[in-house]
Amino acid sequence: MIQWAEVDSQIFDTYPSPKPPKGRDDIDEALDAVAAGKTVQLTLEDEQKMRGRRMVLGRRAKQRGLVLDMRYQSNKIIVRQRGSTGVEQSEQSEQLDQVEQMERSATPRASRKRS
């Protein structure tokens, strides 16, 4: 159970104010590129910072509504938006149309009986 009591508003002013939000950094720039459909590679100075950077990327991406695919090796992280394969959507739909046409032409048609 929480205990509470009314206090004078001057007491509120004695508590520290919240820190202002930090400015943009390299993670924001990388996420801008990922949001635009690019695949980016981040190279870290120290391999020991890998876990922290991966977590920061995931958190900030979630705030933007992005879902990421990340892979990492030694001091490098490769990031892309989940579902992105580097092929544009229009190219994917054209490829699917071509596959469907090939499948239709390869399937023999049943002969129809006329009565």
**pLDDT tens digits for 51-80?**
998 999 999 999 999 999 999 998 999 999
Say whether 69 sits in a helix, a strand or coil: strand
Q: Is residue 60 part of a domain?
A: yes
Token pair for 102: 């090939």
Q: Is residue 9 part of a domain?
A: no
Q: Is residue 31 part of a domain?
A: yes
Lowest mean pLDDT among 14-18, 41-45, 57-61, 82-86: 82-86
Please give the residue range of the domain that contains residue 38.
Answer: 21-83
Q: Is residue 68 part of a domain?
A: yes
Q: Is residue 110 part of a domain?
A: no
Say whether 50 sits in a helix, a strand or coil: helix
95, 102 contact by CB (below 8 A)? no
Q: How many domains does the chain have?
A: 1
Q: DSSP assignment of 21-73, as one string? A: PP---HHHHHHHHHHTT--EEEE-S-GGGHHHHHHHHHHHHHHHT--EEEEEE
Q: Is residue 93 part of a domain?
A: no
